[in-house]
Structure 1
């Protein structure tokens, strides 16, 4: 490395001392060569400053029936050593399958390093053919603690070609026309690294990126428009049109199964169980399969499908017995779609909506997991923006969410303590709404997995764990309608040889061995403190003291209230002094507070953690 280049590199690195990696250059240009083909040219240089920044230097290129790697070259340089050239043959390639059916071929390169900094440089071209619903997105940085010195993205299209885009505020934009071509250019300079912190806003809110799409879709011969959500929804509808045909035998079978049903809801219940019995979820990404459902008859024949195929199959089953439904698309991780940027690339999942006029409700059916109770809007759907695909045009709506107070867990723990600090423990775990999500498949788990699920995070060592009962209200939607909230109760028991510690005539016990402390950041806060989903946890511990022991003192009662959370801790001793009951309840509401107010959260969390970590002392009574 020559002296001038070394000095320049040190200056760039010095500008971002907290960065694990620095993107010194990321220049990408996508050129539309025809209505259905294009080429992406990339030149990217990353300086990796520590082991934690290695991910930023990795290269992953996904190829499929629409895109292929045309050329590749690069280099990697560790410390002051001589750069090592990279060729296409140095890339690791594999036919990657996220499911059973796709056509992905992935090229990757993972640099290795002992000495830092490590500089990696990549230059490559990707060829696209078969048409476009969106153009390549531009993400110069994807991780926290990665800085960007310079980044530029150019989309080169014929003059007057309709392009729509969304770019984060970090970019500057200009469009120039020359020789019959329009060049849309986004540029970025000096992007500071994102601090990795707990309860921070979603990464997509913090990193710089650009989305670009053609206004007119032309993908594998399927033409349409995404000028607005209405036209896009119409295109999604046409993409699935004619793929709901079932065999005559299956139509007759489902009509026989539902012959005794008196309402659309009863038919839906029967066919939802039929779907669970006959199919399973598998990702399918063949050709246009990333957007288009496999025919219902094919899903029926093979017994598997992806979210699109299973939703389309369920739609066909319902239609066969006269029940209307709507196919819609959603992003399960992002509640909000970019409303002013209608684009098919914003969604990653398909589901089904079944209107229930008699209940004044709509059932949002998750066809990839028919174990989810009907009528439940699970946590990856409730409150999310969705696009209905309809013949007369798409409909942009928001799935109703639940009141914050309904997402809660209540755990009743009954402890019989012995004088050697061993104990037998019985637990009743009551789960409501979002807390149910993780336990929907609990009954199907092996005993060891059930034990791990129930005792994970426990601050004592359990032995002889046994599940006594599992009950739920999953079949109550027909009677409760839109007021239905899933509930689940699990009763289990275990023993422990060390519930506390014996020291002379005293036993020292944790006030709440099931608690989990809140995270606290010691240093200066950089990001907003953000919580998007509410939750509430209440724990009631009933402790039966060993014969001849008494509580030396009770934990202090505590009541904390803030704009974002509340906490209560109280304890009571029975009149005979043999039973101690401790109740601790913590509730968080959705909130955002500026980094400058982090001390408010820190003080609250420290007080809660002290209450959780408190110690109870039992003393052996002395008889004269």
Structure 2
């Protein structure tokens, strides 16, 4: 677990919370499922009711009952229970039953069958634990029914209601019920839900309920927004809340910002020895030099280790703790970095963010706990410097695709509105490649490639260089190369120490039978290493809006020397494509026995309507075809 626990995804969201709901003996016969729900489905949610009972600001109970019919082996993953508990969250009970295809009961869950495991993971210390269960049944189709009751000692987080768990997953019926005291304000935001919730009141309780029926499978689409924007979903949040005696509000982002500041106030005091070190390192330096010097100091003297006990998922360990131990989680390291900067005379703040590669979907109009990570920022007169404090390798001021281009919340005493982290432009995210290659009479090729990666185009490679062995790096490289048979003779990378990180890569490859020989003719695809693999089907109706998560540019220059005596018989026509989503061009020419191939691609990030999908499919389809065009040579 990272920082907060409310944004769980996939299977966990729909497995964690259970309650009895539907009266009478259930009919789980597969024959009773409407045919439309079976079509293209691996699993079907037969029924579900998620009930949230709020008794006070400091306590709520969540009860969830559901049944899922698994149609084939691909649906097995939906039939498991995986739930966590800690000091703020206890699992009161778990029950379950297994049924065969006719709906006949086969087995009941025994408490001894429920695994109770440590949830420590990457944390050095944590009170997280996991309960897990599976019937491990493989005679298809079958049905599992589960019921789980959970108690949570806070109202800071609420479960999401997303009945449909995945594309090949349909829903027969599902219901969300939330019971709150009359003086408790429940806030909600729905997606793909017709109408408003049914709201009723009695003497001291207000009840909200949502219900859906007959949700068929969704197509597996590329370039999509987050799952909750593609299917029926309801997000919940309080107006006022309490967590371990800390009270706050989140009607606005300003209120939430003040709460997070108060929760961590006074935890930025440094030991005297560290204060002296700060001044030794930074006195007399410029703002930028101070930031860089202290960021390097942080990277050299600390490491990321998650430490979460009780309220530790939200409240940081103080600067003294990090200084003494040399480690901390994202909150602690960011708080420590801000403490160093403040000692050097630079105001700095901790910042809440949802971290994840290219994860930028965020509900800005719904103040709530949508965060799982903390970074630091240093405001300036002209610009703000952003710091990823868990990394020991990034340059100061560069965030990478993990936290770039998304809304964030600064924890401030006066409160803060949402601001955005930098979006790296097309000209900052580059892949510039020059290839020289020689092909012999047998069609074998010796290829040398020099590639310059910048910005987010170097992120994955930078991570591999620092986290993986050379053997693993080569394994991943070979999977990425679209060559039929080859050996990697040389592979070297050099990182460039710049504010916008860059990597120069050198690659030598011996490719066997790359060129096809047929009689007097030689067939060559001049695009050697950078073929697009995406070819959407324009005839399939598009449901989701189109999300291109980042802008980038690729430029390839390829020089291929072929044996003497070959003349061009057929050269691919030049291609130039202009679209809403970007541009593409390629051109091949032959001079003597040298083929020159030049290719340029630029992609524009953005959210585009589903109605523009035919244009996107046409654009990528044309690129796919052009990238594989063959040049034909004939020997005199």
TM-score w.r.t. length of structure 1: 0.90
- In 2: Cα distance, 1:6 partner to 1:253 partner: 68
Counterpart of 2:323?
Answer: 300
Please list the CA deviations of residues 189-225 of structure 1 after superposition, one character each: whole Å capped at 9, or x if unmatched: 2323222122233322113332323322211121222
Q: Is the 8 A contact 2:536 2:621 kept in 1?
A: no
Q: Is the 8 A contact 1:47 1:119 kept in 2?
A: yes
How far did residue 376 of structure 1 move?
Answer: 2.5
1:495-510 equivalent positions in 2, closer than 5 A: 495-510=510-525
Change (3 A) 1:468 1:43: closer
1:35-74 equivalent positions in 2, closer than 5 A: 35-74=57-96
3-state SS in 1 of match to 2:528: coil
- In 1: Cα distance, 2:329 partner to 2:495 partner: 30
Please list the CA deviations of residues 429-470 of structure 1 after superposition, one character each: whole Å capped at 9, or x if unmatched: 122322021233455454334434544421224424324562
Counterpart of 1:480?
Answer: none
How far did residue 147 of structure 1 move?
Answer: 1.7
Counterpart of 1:223?
Answer: 247
1:380-391 equivalent positions in 2, closer than 5 A: 380-391=402-413
Aligned residues: 604
Q: Does 1:132 align with 2:149?
A: no
1:228-239 equivalent positions in 2, closer than 5 A: 228-239=252-263
Counterpart of 1:482?
Answer: none
1:185-584 equivalent positions in 2, closer than 5 A: 185-259=209-283, 261-333=284-356, 334-343=359-368, 345-357=369-381, 360-441=382-463, 443-444=465-466, 446-460=469-483, 461-467=485-491, 470-472=494-496, 474-475=497-498, 477=499, 485-522=500-537, 524-528=540-544, 529-574=546-591, 577-584=592-599
- In 2: Cα distance, 1:297 partner to 1:337 partner: 34
Q: Is the 8 A contact 2:426 2:602 kept in 1?
A: no
3-state SS in 2 of match to 1:241: coil
For the aligned residue pairs, the C-alpha RMSD in angstroms reads: 2.6
In structure 2, list runs of 5 or more residues that go unmatched.
1-23
How far did residue 578 of structure 1 move?
Answer: 2.1
How far did residue 420 of structure 1 move?
Answer: 2.7
Q: Is the 8 A contact 1:61 1:106 kept in 2?
A: yes
1:19-98 equivalent positions in 2, closer than 5 A: 19-80=41-102, 81-98=104-121
How far did residue 13 of structure 1 move?
Answer: 4.8
TM-score w.r.t. length of structure 2: 0.88
Q: Is the 8 A contact 2:494 2:504 kept in 1?
A: yes
- In 2: Cα distance, 1:63 partner to 1:4 partner: 30
Q: Does 1:150 align with 2:173?
A: yes
- In 2: Cα distance, 1:115 partner to 1:47 partner: 12
Q: Is the 8 A contact 1:71 1:88 kept in 2?
A: no
Counterpart of 1:165?
Answer: 188
Q: Does 1:589 align with 2:612?
A: no
Please list the CA deviations of residues 524-576 of structure 1 after superposition, one character each: whole Å capped at 9, or x if unmatched: 234234423233322221011224434433222122222223221101222xx
Q: Is the 8 A contact 1:224 1:232 kept in 2?
A: yes
Q: Is the 8 A contact 1:244 1:295 kept in 2?
A: yes
- In 2: Cα distance, 1:48 partner to 1:341 partner: 35
Moved over 6 A (4+): none
Change (3 A) 1:385 1:463: same
How far did residue 328 of structure 1 move?
Answer: 0.9
Change (3 A) 1:161 1:605: closer
How far did residue 304 of structure 1 move?
Answer: 1.8
How far did residue 35 of structure 1 move?
Answer: 3.3
The more displaced of 110-119 and 264-273 is 110-119
3-state SS in 2 of match to 1:346: coil
Q: Which of the numbers 207, 210, 214 marks the counterpart of 1:183?
A: 207
Change (3 A) 1:381 1:443: closer
How far did residue 405 of structure 1 move?
Answer: 4.5
Q: Is the 8 A contact 1:502 1:508 kept in 2?
A: yes
Change (3 A) 1:180 1:466: same
How far did residue 616 of structure 1 move?
Answer: 2.9
- In 1: Cα distance, 2:490 partner to 2:624 partner: 30
